[in-house]
Amino acid sequence: MARAIVRKSKILVLDEATANVDLETDNFIQRKLRERFSSCTVLIVAHRLATIIDSDRILVMADGQAKEFNHPYCLMVNAVGDECITRQQGYFSKMVLETDAETALSLFEMAKQSYDKST
């Protein structure tokens, strides 16, 4: 990442960049990524939902196939404006709902806030 900052890269690709760090460090790195690369295209491969929940778009893959692509909030609702997860059968929604209820609610709220800021 330091090289990308110095070079002022326009595209940054990260593959599980925070997989082996604790959640606090992950959050710190994610904040810094958003600050330093706000005008760049950042492609993040991640398994932690919190890592990508406020992204502009996510691509959900299963069995090597693209299954869903949209803003995280849009992948969790049937209609924009919904105040809870209403799209129960989507791949992304299922992943969020498989977390505990408190985490799912928190992820939904983060995605909705990110969506509201972008529109």
Task: Give the tens place of pLDDT for each residue, 48-88.
Answer: 898 889 899 999 999 999 999 999 999 999 999 999 999 99
pLDDT greater at residue 1 or residue 38:
38
Alpha-carbon distance values, 9 to 22, 39, 63 (Å): 27, 10, 31
Task: Give the tens place of pLDDT for each residue, 4-52.
Answer: 888 988 998 988 877 788 878 888 888 888 888 888 898 988 888 988 8
User: Which pLDDT belongs to residue 64?
Assistant: 94
Contact criterion met (CB below 8 Å) for 20 and 48: no
User: Which pLDDT belongs to residue 23?
Assistant: 79
Contacts of 80 (CB under 8 A, 6+ apart): 73, 74, 115
User: Which pLDDT belongs to residue 4?
Assistant: 86
Strands 58-62 and 65-70 come out as antiparallel
pTM for the full model? Answer: 0.85
User: Which pLDDT belongs to residue 66?
Assistant: 97
